[in-house]
Amino acid sequence: MHDWLNNLPKAELHLHLEGSLEPELMFRLAERNKIALPWNDVEALRSAYNFGNLQEFLDLYYAGADVLRTEQDFYDLTWAYLQKCEEQNVVHTEPFFDPQTHTDRGVPFEAALNGISAALADGRELLGISSGLILSFLRHLPEEEAFKALEQALPYRNAFFAVGLDSSEVGHPPSKFQRVFDKARAEGFLTVAHAGEEGPPEYIWQALDLLKVSRIDHGVRAAEDPKLIARLIEEQIPLTVCPLSNTKLKVFDDMRQHNILDLLEQGVKVTVNSDDPAYFGGYVTENFVALHESLGMTEEQARRLAQNSLDARLAY
Ligand SMILES: Nc1ncnc2[nH]cnc12
Ligand SMILES: [Zn+2]
C-alpha cells in the first residue's frame, strides 16, 4: 500500500537522531548498559507516548536518551535510522545531533560524534545515502552553554555543515542565541533554527534576520503573518515541516487541520519530515501517507514536496 509514496526519491531535512530511538532499541541499550528504565516493557513505554505539548514530549525524550552511553550505542542508533531511510527511498539526510543532551550526562562528545559519523560514513558507502550533520544547541540552556558546545565541535569542524537550535521554544527566542550563531557563521557553518512550531511568527523573523538561517525548521505558525509568508515565498526559504509531529504535539488538533498543503499551494517551499519518528508514529513515508489520507494530497503535490526536499538540501 502506498508504494508510490515510499518509492519517491526524497531527502529528510528535519530529523533528531535521538528521536529515532525505537522502544525496542531503547530496551536493548538499557540492558547492555545496565540501566533501569522507569517502564516495565516496550508496550508500557509506547503507551506513555501521549503528549499535550512539546515540553511533555521533551521530558520523555531526554529521559529515553539516557540509555545512549557508548560510541557503539550512537552507531547502532544512527545505523537503524539509515536502514529506515533505505527502506523508504530517502536518498539524502541532514540529521540534528544535540551534544548537550549527552555531554551534560557525562558522555564524551567524541564518543557520541564518532559513533554517529562512522554510521553516516557506512550509510554513504554501503547504502548510497548522502548526509550532513547539524550541531544543534538546546535553547532552554544559557547561550554560554551553546558556546561551549561550539568550542567542543571546532576540532571536528568537518563533521558538521551547520548549526541549529531546538528544544523548548516558547520563552527562548532566537535572539537569545544571536552571538553564538554569529560565531558559528564566522567559523563557516550554515545556520538553521526551529521557529514557529509553538512559538510566534516573531521568532521566525528573528531566525531569519538575527541568526541568518538558510532554512526554518517547522515554521507552520508563519501562516498567521501574511508579510512573513510573502517573504518566505519571495526568498524561497525552505520550511522543514513535520506533520505527524505537529499533530502528536497538538500544534494542530487533527491532521485535517494541517496547513502544509495550503502553504505549498501559496508557493512556500515546504518539505515533509519526521522530526522524532520513534515517538510520533512514523518516518518520512508515514508522514506522506498521512497527508494523502487526511488532506487528500495528490500525486502531483507529493512529487512537488519530494522535489522541494531535494532542492532544499544544504550539505553535499
Ligand atoms: N519537535 C521538536 N521541537 C523542538 N526540539 C526538539 N527536539 C526534538 N524534537 C524537537
Ligand atoms: Zn525538530
Sheet of strand 10-12, all strands in order from the earlier edge strand to the far edge: 10-12, 90-93, 130-131
Q: What is the CA radius of gyration of the chain?
A: 18
Distance 209 CA to ligand 2 centre (A): 20
CB contact at 8 A, 95 and 131: yes
Residue of the CA atom closest to atom 7 of ligand 1: 167
What pLDDT was estimated at residue 1? Answer: 64
| Residue partners of 100: CB distance under 8 A and separation at least 6 | 137, 138, 141, 145, 146, 149
Which triple of cell numbers denotes residue 96? 540534528
Question: How many residues are there in the chain?
Answer: 316
Q: Three-class SS of residue 163?
A: strand
Ligand 1 binding residues, C-beta < 6 A: 16, 19, 54, 61, 166-167, 194, 197, 245, 275-276
> 0.95 cut: is pTM over it?
yes
Q: Regarding beta strands 130-131 and 133-138, do their DSSP bridges make them parallel or antiparallel, or are they unpaired?
A: unpaired
Q: Is the pLDDT of residue 93 over 90?
A: yes
- 152 pLDDT exceeds 70? yes
Distance 211 CA to ligand 2 centre (A): 17
| Distance from the alpha carbon of residue 20 to the mean position of ligand 2, in angstroms | 11
- Residues 309 and 36: their CA atoms lie apart, in Å, by 39
The percent of residues in the chain predicted with pLDDT above 90, rounded, is: 99
pLDDT at 286: 98
What atom of ligand 1 comes closest to residue 242's alpha carbon? 1
Report the side by side order of strands in the sheet with 96-97: 96-97, 133-138, 160-166, 190-195, 215-218, 239-241, 270-272
- The whole-number pLDDT of residue 2 equals 83
Distance 278 CA to ligand 2 centre (A): 13
Question: Side chain identity at 154, as an amino acid letter?
Answer: L
Pocket test for ligand 1, best of 51, 248, 251, 276 (most atoms within 8 A of CB): 276
Q: Which of 18, 71, 197, 198 is catalytic?
A: 197
Q: For residue range 125-147, list pLDDT tens digits in order.
A: 999 999 999 999 999 999 999 99
On the question of pLDDT at 82 being above 70, the answer is yes
Ligand 1 pocket test, pick from 18, 166, 273 with the greatest ligand atom count within 8 Å of Cβ, gives: 166
Distance CA 139, CA 137 (A): 6
The pLDDT value recorded for residue 61 is 97
Q: Is 197 assigned a catalytic role?
A: yes
Q: Give residue 305's pLDDT.
A: 98
